[in-house]
């Protein structure tokens, strides 16, 4: 009896172990084999082999995303291989945008190959938005461009450019910034060549005509320019008058600076002359101090008599009187 119980317990344990192993194997099988995606592709008429799905799983690719994109392309009549979708996803592209762009282009009868669509997507362009812009033209709004006419009046011009995406030139073609820059250049050229700002206000079409005539807006870009319209023109500052005012102010400051310089030089010269006058007076006083000595020496030697001395004193007194009357020696008259 005991042996039977031991046998039954051992059989139960073995059964549980076998069941556990089977569950583990089933879990591993379903984790590696995407049965649901395989069945979904099969019933949708877009067969994908099980080995390819297992390969995607092992390479950690988004199987659901790839299978759904493949089914969507097949349903829309797009001829594309599952290997192309897988390769594009591995290259870092957005396969959903590519498939949607191919479907939109196919519906709108726009020539777009699978290779071009993938190349545009990998180049960083939004291929789906580009296809939509090919079907429905977009408007590029040019920010107000400041330009000055020959009479010095500033005009601020705002333009609108209607463009359509050219899928064939999308890879390597310039974007909206290039178109805006060319329009801005044409506006500055047109307004700058006008004799008066009134000419531009009276005929704003001259701007669009000149821009389209002298600038090939489409060259090297990914767009086809449908129209160029001037939306608004605002009159700005009188730049010419302001420049004249600034120049006059600058000339006045220069003249004042030169006048101050001449004044300073005149004051310096006056001070220099005053100093020289004092030097000359000092020399005269020094010479006058020598006169008594010379006279004393002349008296001793007999070269000068008393009468001669009195006559000289009379002459000196007479000279001092005349100078006093004339104000030559008056200290107040020398100021």
Cα radius of gyration (the chain): 53
Rounded average pLDDT over 101-118: 84
Rounded average pLDDT over 27-50: 73
Residues 19 and 130 in one domain: yes
Confidence class of residue 76 from pLDDT cuts 50, 70 and 90?
Answer: confident
Rounded average pLDDT over 195-201: 85
In a domain, 311, yes or no: no
Point out the domain boundary residue: 241, 273, 308. 241
Q: Tell me the C-alpha distance between 64 and 66, whole Å.
A: 6
Q: Tell me the C-alpha distance between 334 and 330, whole Å.
A: 7
Across 46-55, 176-185, 217-226, the highest mean pLDDT is recorded for 176-185
Q: How many domains does the chain have?
A: 2
- At 27 the pLDDT is 61
Q: Tell me the C-alpha distance between 310 and 183, whole Å.
A: 106
Residues 44 and 83 in one domain: yes
Residues 119 and 53 in one domain: yes
Q: Tell me the C-alpha distance between 100 and 236, whole Å.
A: 48
pLDDT at 127 over 70: yes
The set of residues, in sequence order, having a beta carbon less than 8 Å from that of 231 and lying 6+ positions away, is 141, 158, 159, 160
| Residue 73, token pair as written in the block | 């392309």
Tell me the pLDDT tens digit for each residue of 266-319.
888 888 888 888 888 888 788 777 777 777 777 777 766 767 777 777 877 888
User: Bigger pLDDT: 94 or 303?
Assistant: 94
In a domain, 326, yes or no: no
In a domain, 78, yes or no: yes
Residues 145 and 96 in one domain: no
pLDDT at 156 over 50: yes
- At 11 the pLDDT is 63
The CATH number of the domain holding residue 183 is 3.30.479.30
Residues 109 and 145 in one domain: no
Q: Tell me the C-alpha distance between 14 and 18, whole Å.
A: 6
Q: What percent of the chain has pLDDT over 70?
A: 85
In a domain, 220, yes or no: yes
Confidence class of residue 158 from pLDDT cuts 50, 70 and 90?
Answer: very high
Confidence class of residue 335 from pLDDT cuts 50, 70 and 90?
Answer: very low
pLDDT at 179 over 60: yes
Q: How many CB atoms lie within 10 A of CB 264?
A: 10
pLDDT at 334 over 50: no
Rounded average pLDDT over 147-151: 87
Residues 28 and 57 in one domain: yes
Residues 25 and 130 in one domain: yes
Point out the domain boundary residue: 241, 275, 306. 241
Burial class (CB within 10 angstroms; exposed 0-12, middle 13-18, buried 19+) of 289 = exposed
Complete edge-to-edge strand list for the sheet that includes strand 138-148: 138-148, 153-165, 223-238
Residues 145 and 216 in one domain: yes
Point out the domain boundary residue: 102, 134, 166. 134
Q: Which domain holds residue 155?
A: 139-241
Residues 126 and 33 in one domain: yes
Rounded average pLDDT over 183-200: 87
Q: Which residue, chain included where needed, has tokens 């591995």?
A: 90
| Residue 329, token pair as written in the block | 């020696």
Confidence class of residue 331 from pLDDT cuts 50, 70 and 90?
Answer: very low
Residues 117 and 145 in one domain: no
In a domain, 69, yes or no: yes
- Residue pair 13/25 in contact (Cβ under 8 Å)? The answer is no
Burial class (CB within 10 angstroms; exposed 0-12, middle 13-18, buried 19+) of 163 = buried
In a domain, 25, yes or no: yes
Residues 130 and 156 in one domain: no
| Residue 267, token pair as written in the block | 């004051």
- Residue pair 127/105 in contact (Cβ under 8 Å)? The answer is no
Residues 21 and 125 in one domain: yes
Give the length of the chain.
335
User: Bigger pLDDT: 109 or 17?
Assistant: 109
In a domain, 321, yes or no: no
- At 3 the pLDDT is 53
In a domain, 279, yes or no: no
Q: Tell me the C-alpha distance between 161 and 184, whole Å.
A: 11
DSSP 185-244: HHHHHHHHH-SSHHHHHH-THHHHHHHHHH--TTTTBSEEEEEEEEEEEEEEEEHHHHHH
């Amino acid at each position: 009896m005991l042996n039977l119980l031991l046998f039954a317990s051992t059989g139960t344990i073995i059964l549980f172990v076998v069941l556990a192993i089977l569950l583990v194997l089933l879990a591993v099988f379903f984790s590696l084999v995407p049965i649901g995606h395989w069945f979904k592709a099969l019933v949708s008429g877009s067969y994908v082999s099980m080995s390819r799905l297992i390969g995607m799983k092992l390479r950690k690719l988004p199987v659901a995303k790839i299978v759904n994109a493949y089914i969507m392309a097949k349903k829309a009549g797009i001829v594309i291989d599952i290997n192309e979708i897988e390769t594009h996803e591995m290259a870092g592209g957005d396969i959903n945008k590519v498939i949607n762009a191919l479907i939109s282009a196919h519906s709108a009868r726009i020539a777009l190959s699978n290779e071009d669509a993938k190349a545009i997507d990998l180049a960083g362009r939004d291929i789906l938005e580009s296809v939509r812009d090919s079907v429905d033209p977009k408007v590029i709004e040019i920010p107000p461009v400041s330009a000055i006419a020959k009479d010095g009046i500033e005009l601020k011009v705002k333009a609108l450019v209607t463009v359509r995406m050219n899928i064939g030139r999308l890879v390597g073609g310039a974007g909206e910034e290039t178109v805006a820059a060319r329009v801005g250049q044409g506006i500055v050229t047109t307004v700058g060549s006008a004799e008066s700002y009134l000419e531009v206000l009276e005929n704003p079409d001259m701007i669009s005509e000149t821009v389209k005539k002298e600038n090939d807006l489409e060259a090297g870009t990914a767009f086809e320019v449908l129209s160029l319209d001037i939306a608004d023109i605002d009159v700005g500052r009188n730049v010419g008058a302001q420049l004249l005012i600034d120049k006059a102010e600058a000339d006045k400051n220069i003249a004042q600076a030169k006048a101050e310089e001449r004044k300073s030089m005149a004051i310096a010269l006056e001070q220099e002359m005053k100093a020289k006058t004092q030097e000359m007076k000092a020399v005269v006083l020094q010479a006058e101090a020598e006169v008594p000595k010379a006279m004393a020496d002349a008296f001793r030697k007999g070269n000068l008599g008393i009468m001669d001395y009195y006559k000289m004193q009379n002459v000196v007194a007479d000279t001092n009187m005349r100078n006093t009357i004339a104000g030559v020696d008056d200290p107040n008259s020398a100021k």
